[in-house]
């Protein structure tokens, strides 16, 4: 089954400073594992602190999580596999599923409508994944391909998904020439993030603001992916350093910070909400676990009952990477 990113899905717990003009922010970090499983990924979080993701390395099963550990199965009906990737403020969810014939489809799961699940496939394509939804549920982000395996000919899109039908708007045509592209996150303003592959072994993140494309390239990395964007414009994802080590990053107004604790192997940050709370997944002792990182102290407006492992690590402010407009 094709995963969300084009690189290894294995990652390690991350905790780092988030620099800003005023202060350095540390995080409280909780690790999360689906009961009885050694493979868990957290992929999206909304402002209420509800989280979505999936578990199972061989057979993917989606879930909705209310901290500290209340899981609800969330799977497209009669699917062979499901990953839940994005979550709106009202509880609408998006992701993708594999049917009994092995075909991958995008979907939306409406919180207050019956039937609740709808397939979201771009016409004329053979492979689809919906990877992001805005907080107001008005916008989606994803990609499609005419390759039934989804490994080639990927084209990023943004659009909308409703009970009355879906719309798709091409992003790939705005990007530099590439082999594959994916749109992975979008906010209420319609600003979308994602990545494109200029070559088979290079990847560059992008931000689409009203059709103007800016590259997201933390620390000059030749392999980086932007995977989520908040209402406030904070962007998250991962990058490879010069030694091929994978790190998570946060991007606040063009200022990048790494997200790695001592002893980590690699890190992926996949989602972020308006409070700056991060979700992702990690490899710890050969187990893939989800993590939630909440800025410390936690916002007074909400309490999540963080009962798991709590880590606080303050690092030096991150260096400024590159965000350049593509012409």
Q: Write out pLDDT tens, residues 120-143.
A: 999 999 999 999 999 999 999 999
Q: Does residue 12 form part of some domain?
A: no
Rounded to whole angstroms, how far apart are CA atoms 36 and 264?
23
Q: Does residue 156 form part of some domain?
A: yes
pTM (two decimals): 0.86
Q: Does residue 299 form part of some domain?
A: yes
Q: Write out pLDDT tens, residues 143-161.
A: 999 999 999 999 999 999 9
Q: Does residue 312 form part of some domain?
A: yes
Q: Does residue 73 form part of some domain?
A: yes
Predicted local distance difference test score (pLDDT) of residue 203: 98
Average pLDDT over residues 291-318: 51
Lowest mean pLDDT among 11-15, 69-73, 159-163, 240-244: 11-15
Q: Write out pLDDT tens, residues 195-228.
A: 999 999 999 999 999 999 999 999 999 999 999 9
Above 90 in pLDDT, residue 298? no
Per the structure, the count of domains in the chain is 1
Range of the domain at 268: 18-325
Predicted local distance difference test score (pLDDT) of residue 207: 98
Average pLDDT over residues 176-191: 98
Average pLDDT over residues 179-185: 98
Predicted local distance difference test score (pLDDT) of residue 15: 40
Above 70 in pLDDT, residue 262? no
Average pLDDT over residues 82-91: 98
Higher pLDDT, 316 or 122: 122
Q: Does residue 10 form part of some domain?
A: no
Average pLDDT over residues 238-256: 92
Above 80 in pLDDT, residue 16? no
Higher pLDDT, 274 or 4: 274
Confidence band for 183, pLDDT divided at 50, 70 and 90: very high
Rg (CA), the chain: 18
Q: Does residue 90 form part of some domain?
A: yes
Confidence band for 261, pLDDT divided at 50, 70 and 90: low
Predicted local distance difference test score (pLDDT) of residue 224: 97
- Residue 37 belongs to a domain with what CATH number? 2.120.10.30
Q: Does residue 2 form part of some domain?
A: no
Above 70 in pLDDT, residue 11? no
């Amino acid at each position: 089954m094709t995963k969300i990113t084009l690189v290894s899905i294995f990652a390690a717990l991350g905790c780092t400073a988030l620099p800003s003009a005023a202060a350095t922010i540390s995080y409280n970090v909780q690790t999360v594992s689906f009961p009885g499983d050694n493979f868990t990924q957290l992929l999206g979080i909304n402002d209420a602190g509800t989280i979505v993701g999936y578990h199972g390395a061989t057979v993917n099963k989606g879930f909705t999580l209310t901290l500290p550990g209340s899981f609800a199965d969330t799977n497209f009906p009669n699917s062979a596999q499901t990953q839940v990737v994005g979550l709106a403020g009202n509880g609408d969810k998006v992701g993708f599923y594999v049917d009994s014939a092995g075909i991958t489809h995008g979907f939306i799961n409406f919180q207050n409508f019956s039937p609740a699940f709808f397939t979201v496939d771009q016409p004329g394509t053979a492979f689809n994944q919906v990877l992001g939804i805005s907080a107001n549920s008005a916008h989606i982000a994803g990609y499609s391909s005419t390759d039934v395996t989804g490994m080639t000919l990927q084209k990023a899109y943004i659009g909308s998904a409703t009970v009355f039908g879906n719309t798709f708007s091409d992003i790939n045509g705005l990007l530099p020439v590439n082999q594959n592209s994916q749109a992975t996150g979008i906010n209420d303003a319609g600003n979308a993030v994602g990545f494109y592959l200029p070559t088979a072994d290079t990847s560059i993140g992008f931000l689409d603001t009203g059709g103007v494309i800016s590259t997201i390239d933390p620390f000059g990395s030749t392999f980086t992916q932007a995977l989520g964007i908040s209402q406030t414009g904070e962007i998250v994802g991962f990058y490879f350093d010069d030694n091929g080590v994978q790190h998570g990053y946060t991007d606040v107004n063009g200022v990048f910070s790494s997200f790695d604790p001592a002893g980590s192997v690699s890190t992926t940050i996949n989602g972020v909400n308006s409070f700056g709370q991060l979700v992702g997944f990690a490899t710890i002792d050969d187990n893939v676990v989800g993590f939630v990182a909440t800025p410390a102290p936690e916002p007074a407006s909400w309490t999540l009952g963080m009962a798991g492992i709590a880590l606080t690590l303050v690092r030096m402010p991150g260096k400024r990477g590159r965000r350049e407009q593509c012409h």
